[in-house]
């Protein structure tokens, strides 16, 4: 045991700790301390245990299970789409922060011209944004998260990386020429994850970039201003009307981009509204008076249904 630990420390002493500019992952080494990934720039990182269940945000996971027990988003390194969720069954509004992780800041996956947008294309549906690049150009993680999928996808995406983020979203980076990451690897926003290319069903080098929530695609331009290269808002509110019935029933069988039967998702940010607590008010009374629910009030204000309300306090109700 001592010899193995000493050997590991000698190995790590020759490396720079895994950082934002890690290069291509070259090898993994199983040690008594866990699995270590070595990169081409001599940096390294630990991979977490393989029994990770995919839950990165207990608040969102609890909300989704309350909406419908069938909602799931399991962790699978081998399958591109992992669930068949009908988000038209949402009963309440989900408050979603774009930068959910404490150290998360948005980073453009690639600075380039948008050559194709989300929506109808060539008689089918196109569920991402295409960004122009040259083969070999570096592609970066948009937000901090964890790599769920990193391999060649024969459904049309070619070399594909999927990252799950603490805000419940997954981002997809397709047609890469090379992967620079491994499944189960923790990723920081702005970290290189692959090199741009022309693999899969692609005509010319470009990055196909998607955003999905519980496996249901949404227009990346709802979240991101690709001209200003920044997020449009720090907050989003998801409701059932944004998703068509049976939205993702074909996703597991049809991974070819542009072929999944889906209605485009539109997300609007409601006007913020506050209510000042009066004597005798309860969360139930406030919710009824303002046509909302107790659970939504708790989500918007970070409180519990049993929280004591102070007279004069301003509660966010919208």
Q: Strand pairing of 206-213 and 169-176?
A: antiparallel
The whole-number pLDDT of residue 265 equals 35
Cα–Cα nearest to 184, from 48, 307, 285:
48
**Residue 85 CB-density burial (10 A; 0-12 exposed, 13-18 middle, 19+ buried):** buried
Distance CA 247, CA 88 (A): 8
Q: Name the CA dihedral angle for 23, 177, 256, 90, rounded to a multiple of 10 degrees.
A: 20
| pTM, full prediction | 0.65
Residue pair 84/249 in contact (Cβ under 8 Å)? The answer is yes
Per-residue pLDDT of the chain (318 residues; tens, 9 = 90+): 444 444 544 444 444 334 334 445 666 666 554 566 676 655 566 565 557 888 888 888 889 989 988 898 999 999 999 988 888 888 888 888 766 554 457 899 999 999 988 887 777 788 899 999 999 999 999 999 999 999 999 888 999 999 999 888 999 999 999 999 999 999 999 999 999 999 998 888 999 999 999 998 888 888 899 999 988 887 888 877 666 443 333 333 333 333 333 333 333 334 557 788 888 889 888 888 888 888 888 877 778 888 888 887 777 787
User: Crossing angle for the helix pair 294-301 and 58-67, nearest 10 degrees?
Assistant: 170
The whole-number pLDDT of residue 242 equals 65
E strand or H helix that includes residue 5: helix 2-13
Domains of the chain: 2-47 (no CATH), 50-266 (2.70.70.10), 274-316 (3.10.350.10)
Distance CA 220, CA 32 (A): 42
What is the maximal distance between C-alpha atoms in the chain?
A: 69
């Amino acid at each position: 045991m001592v010899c193995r630990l000493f050997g590991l420390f000698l190995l790590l002493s020759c490396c720079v700790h895994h950082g934002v500019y890690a290069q291509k992952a070259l090898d993994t080494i199983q040690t008594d301390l866990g699995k270590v990934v070595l990169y081409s720039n001599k940096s390294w990182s630990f991979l977490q245990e393989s029994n990770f269940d995919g839950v990165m945000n207990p608040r969102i996971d609890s909300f989704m299970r309350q909406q419908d027990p069938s909602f799931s988003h399991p962790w699978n390194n081998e399958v591109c789409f992992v669930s068949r969720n009908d988000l038209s069954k949402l009963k309440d509004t989900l408050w979603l922060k774009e930068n959910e992780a404490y150290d998360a800041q948005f980073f453009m996956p690639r600075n380039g011209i948008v050559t194709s947008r989300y929506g109808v294309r060539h008689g089918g549906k196109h569920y991402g944004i295409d960004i122009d690049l040259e083969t070999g150009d570096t592609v970066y993680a948009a937000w901090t998260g964890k790599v769920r999928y990193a391999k060649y996808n024969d459904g049309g995406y070619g070399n594909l990386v999927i990252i799950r983020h603490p805000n419940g979203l997954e981002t997809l980076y397709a047609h890469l020429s090379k992967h620079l990451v491994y499944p189960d690897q923790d990723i920081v926003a702005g970290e290189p994850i692959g090199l741009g290319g022309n693999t899969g069903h692609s005509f010319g080098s470009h990055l196909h970039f998607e955003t999905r929530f519980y496996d249901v695609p949404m227009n990346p331009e709802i979240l991101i201003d690709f001209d200003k290269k920044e997020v449009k808002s720090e907050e989003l509110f998801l409701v059932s009307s944004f998703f068509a019935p049976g939205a993702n029933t074909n996703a597991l069988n049809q991974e070819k981009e542009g072929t999944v039967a889906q209605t485009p998702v539109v997300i609007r940010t409601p006007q913020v509204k506050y209510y000042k607590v009066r004597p005798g008010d309860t969360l139930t009374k406030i919710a009824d008076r303002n046509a909302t629910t107790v659970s939504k009030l708790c989500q918007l204000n970070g409180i519990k249904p049993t929280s004591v309300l102070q007279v004069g306090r301003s509660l966010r109700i919208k």
